Amino acid sequence: MIKALREEVRRLFEEKKVDLVIGWGKGSLPMTATPVFIHKAEDVEQLIWDETCSNNLAVYLTKDKRQLVQTNQKIGIVVKGCDGRSLVLYAVENQIKRENLVIIGVPCNGVIDKKKVLKQTEGKEVLSARFEKERMVVEGRGFKTEITKSDMLSRSCIHCNHPNAPVYDIFIGEPINTDSDVAVYPDVEAFEKLDCETRWKDMVESYSQCIRCYACRNVCPSCYCTECFVDQNDPQWIGKSPEITDTLIFHLNRNLHVAGRCVECGACERACPADIDLLRLNRKISKEILERFNFTAGLDIDEKPALASFCENEKQDFIMG
């Protein structure tokens, strides 16, 4: 698989179809991949693809990195299903020129969340990790253990039903077959069943851990405002300290700003240094939007976003009571 990926990318450079390819390379730590920027055919050996390639690379086409797109260079980008959905979102929202992108799909069976692995090893550092189909053998000082894939999958991957990029130019290997492309939200349903007081208490406890580092926002492909409202100071919309009221304003606003746009890649949750359940509310909103508008973000370039269009036959019970 990796060999095929490298060969395809080499071909793209040789045929002068790309100026730059964004993909994943081997990271400096076990179980860790890192984004790499390939500028020439000789460097394709840096590329890898496996369960550790968790970053959503679409993020490098917007925000601070917008100049990559603005220079009109041809960019190749390696994408999982969710990253590919982000590219569809960008096309719908006029952030990229589709013709300037060469989208390279890879079949994704889910990526791991290192935080979950650390829980399995009870905080002990993993010094080496080896994947064997549905499990990973991890070793550290004085221990060796096997972790099954389901115990370390990123939460975003557990219920994922879009493992392949919806739009691509090249696909490496075979797209993954899915039983159904209808999203399921058992995790959200469990949260919905709790009473209001418990949900609120749970949220306040969880978000109180936030240190306002904005890693969640900065790795989020859907959060690409040129200037985020929390960075504005004239007027200043929000207090800067991690006081719970302000922290909740930040997170809830972010949830609303990405409503109907979140591709549920889980990058926010994996990036969080405070281990907050950041994806839960995003998935709750995605579920609402699916039920009310039969819409899923990032699947169809020609479909108008649910919250930017109106149909007469939409459910209106939230207005009428």
Q: Around Cβ 147, how many Cβ atoms within 10 Å?
A: 19
Interface residue with another protein, options 77, 108, 271, 281 (CB under 8 A):
271
CB closer to another protein out of 253 and 303 = 253
225 part of the interface to another protein, by CB under 8 A:
no
Answer yes or no: are the C-beta atoms of 113 and 270 closer than 8 Å: yes
What lies within 8 Å, CB to CB, of 80 at 6+ separation is 53, 56, 106, 108, 111, 163, 165, 265
Interface residue with another protein, options 242, 288, 292, 307 (CB under 8 A):
242
Residues 33-52 that bind another protein (CB under 8 A): 33-37
60 part of the interface to another protein, by CB under 8 A:
yes
Scanning 40-48, 92-100, 150-158, 204-212 for contacts with another protein by CB under 8 A, the matching segment is: 204-212
Interface residue with another protein, options 240, 252, 294, 309 (CB under 8 A):
240
88 part of the interface to another protein, by CB under 8 A:
no
Rounded distance, CA 18 to CA 170, Å?
13
Size of the site for another protein (CB under 8 A): 47
CB of 69 to another protein, least distance (A): 14
Residue 119 CA, chain-centre distance (Å), reads: 22
**Paired tokens of 235:** 């007027």
Rounded distance, CA 214 to CA 273, Å?
10
Element (H, E) at 135: strand 135-140
CB closer to another protein out of 27 and 305 = 27
141 part of the interface to another protein, by CB under 8 A:
yes
213 part of the interface to another protein, by CB under 8 A:
yes
204 part of the interface to another protein, by CB under 8 A:
no
What's the CA angle centered on 239, arms 238 and 241, to 5 degrees?
A: 140
Helix ranges restricted to H, the chain: 2-14, 67-70, 81-92, 114-120, 155-158, 186-193, 196-207, 215-218, 244-257, 267-271, 279-293, 317-320
CB of 229 to another protein, least distance (A): 11
CB closer to another protein out of 230 and 289 = 230
CB closer to another protein out of 229 and 293 = 229
Residue 41 CA, chain-centre distance (Å), reads: 28
Rounded distance, CA 136 to CA 229, Å?
41
Interface residue with another protein, options 214, 229, 237, 293 (CB under 8 A):
214
Interface residue with another protein, options 1, 2, 4, 127 (CB under 8 A):
127
Terminal alpha carbon distance of the chain: 53
73 part of the interface to another protein, by CB under 8 A:
no
**Paired tokens of 185:** 């939200």
* Closest of 283, 256, 296, 259 to residue 85, by C-alpha: 296
Burial of residue 71 (number of CB atoms within 10 Å: 0-12, 13-18, 19+): exposed
Interface residue with another protein, options 19, 95, 118, 237 (CB under 8 A):
118
CB closer to another protein out of 270 and 283 = 270
Query: Dihedral of CA 103/106/108/114: which sign?
Result: negative
2 part of the interface to another protein, by CB under 8 A:
no
239 part of the interface to another protein, by CB under 8 A:
yes
Which residues of the shown chain bind another protein in the complex (CB under 8 A)?
27-30, 32-37, 55, 59-60, 63-65, 115, 118-119, 122-123, 125, 127, 141, 209, 211-215, 217-219, 227, 231, 233, 239-243, 267, 270-271, 273-275
